[in-house]
Amino acid sequence: MIKIANAPCSWGALEFDLEEKSEEIGFEQVLDEIRETGYIGTELGDWGYMPTDPAGLREEVQKRGLELLGAFVPVALADVTKHNEGVSAALKVAGLMHAAGYEKAFIVLADDNGTIPERTKNAGRIRPGMGLTDTQWIAYAQGAEKIAKAVKDTYGIRTVFHHHCAGYVETPEEIDTLLSLTDPNLLGLCLDMGHYAFGGGNPVDALKAYSNRIWHVHFKDFNPEIAKVSKAVHGDYFDAIKRGVFCELGKGGVDFEAIVALLHQFKYDDWIVVEQDILPGMGHPKICAQANRDYIKTLGL
């Protein structure tokens, strides 16, 4: 059975080191509003956003009738000197979720997105020469596998990789490369519909190509017209977000009807997490969360 969750990033609680961090909405309000708008699960958010003691975390999540299903862990995988730090960070998060009783939650591993100037400046319009070399790709993949293996061996928790604009795994070709270099039994894919579209692909094609590797799904929509406006003024990744490139579900270019049909065809029966990334202080998160949940109901979920 497919279950629908939302995540703190839809309320502007992002992993990036931004000046707007002071405008973040507190986790209590976010969890309340996730529940009130009809979702039954949440992701953890950035380390320290929610309680970091297992009992406190479980109490806050459970008393709202929610489940905790994953946690985003960014690691600069292209830098081999950061791999051990990445292992430590992932184990810290996995240990918290495991101790809180959420053994089936995922580590959602990603690049340290938004920290690579060229990739951040050119998100959604990556050109040849902006990516990793063959040698760097091998090191990148080895780092991802090292983290996934450590988490699995220590806690039995699985790891999925989240492709993401403003990182080194953004385009369909880059996702292909990473998947070809990693063990399909060790590292799954978190398919994010909006990031895949922003990165130049059609998420329907991704579902067909990677059905056996997709262990986790993010529903995010993408507005190509806003991406064009941002491109015209040479805006970077954060400019596109600020303009609303990740719009309400059903208002962008992602074909969610076809996606849901394929998920049913492939017998996907895990979580779908709604993510409508906004910067801290932007918009009306609860209203958008409700609109997104209402839209998903029209898809039969």
pLDDT digits (tens, 9 = 90+) for 168-227: 999 999 999 999 999 999 999 999 999 999 999 999 999 999 999 999 999 999 999 999
d(CA 209, CA 27): 36
Pick from 81, 105, 83: nearest CA to 93: 105
pLDDT tens-digit map of 278-295:
877 777 999 999 999 999
Question: Which secondary structure element, helix H or strand E, spans residue 150, and what is its range?
Answer: helix 134-155
31: pLDDT strictly greater than 80: yes
Pick from 204, 219, 187: nearest CA to 73: 187
17: pLDDT strictly greater than 70: no
Task: Give the per-residue pLDDT at 21.
Answer: 44
d(CA 17, CA 213): 30
Beta-strand ranges (E) seen in 57-150 are 67-68, 70-75, 106-111
Total-model pTM: 0.95
List domains and CATH numbers for the chain: 3-298 (3.20.20.150)
Task: Give the per-residue pLDDT at 23.
Answer: 58
15: pLDDT strictly greater than 70: no
Alpha-carbon distances, residue 193 vs 47, 116, 190, 217 (angstroms): 24, 22, 10, 8
18: pLDDT strictly greater than 80: no
| DSSP-based three-state secondary structure for 131 | coil
Determine the average pLDDT of the residues in 40-63: 96
